[in-house]
C-alpha cells in the first residue's frame, strides 16, 4: 500500500467546510461526503474542465405557480 500524505492546507479547508455545514444544522447520515478537489502533484496543470449542461428531451414547460392554485369563488 502506498503512503498518503494529507496536505495541512487541505485539512484546514475540509474542517472549515465541515464547521460551516454543522453550523447550518445540515448534519445527517444521508448527506454524503464533503469532496475537496485539489490538483494531483504528479499531473500536468491543464486547467479545469466543465461538463456540458444536461439536456431534457420531451418535457412540457412548467405552468406558473399561480395558475396551479385552485380558486374558491364565493
The reported pLDDT for the residue numbered 18 is 83
The reported pLDDT for the residue numbered 5 is 80
For residues 16 and 34, the answer to whether their CB atoms sit within 8 Å is: no
For residues 18 and 34, the answer to whether their CB atoms sit within 8 Å is: yes
Task: Kindly give the confidence (pLDDT) of every residue in the chain, 74 residues in length, as a single tens digit, with 9 standing for 90 and above.
Answer: 667 788 898 889 888 988 888 888 877 666 567 777 777 666 666 655 555 555 555 555 566 656 656 667 66
Residues 6+ apart with CB under 8 A from 27: 21
DSSP 55-73: PP-SPPPPPPGGGGSPP--
The reported pLDDT for the residue numbered 23 is 85
The reported pLDDT for the residue numbered 63 is 60
User: What cell was used for 42?
Assistant: 504528479
Boundaries of every domain in the chain: 1-39
For residues 19 and 47, the answer to whether their CB atoms sit within 8 Å is: no
Amino acid at each position: 500500500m502506498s503512503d498518503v500524505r494529507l496536505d495541512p492546507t487541505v485539512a484546514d479547508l475540509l474542517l472549515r467546510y465541515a464547521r460551516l455545514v454543522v453550523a447550518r444544522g445540515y448534519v445527517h447520515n444521508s448527506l454524503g461526503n464533503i469532496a475537496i478537489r485539489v490538483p494531483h502533484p504528479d499531473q500536468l496543470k491543464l486547467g479545469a474542465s466543465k461538463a456540458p449542461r444536461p439536456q431534457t428531451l420531451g418535457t412540457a414547460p412548467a405552468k406558473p405557480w399561480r395558475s396551479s392554485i385552485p380558486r374558491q369563488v364565493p
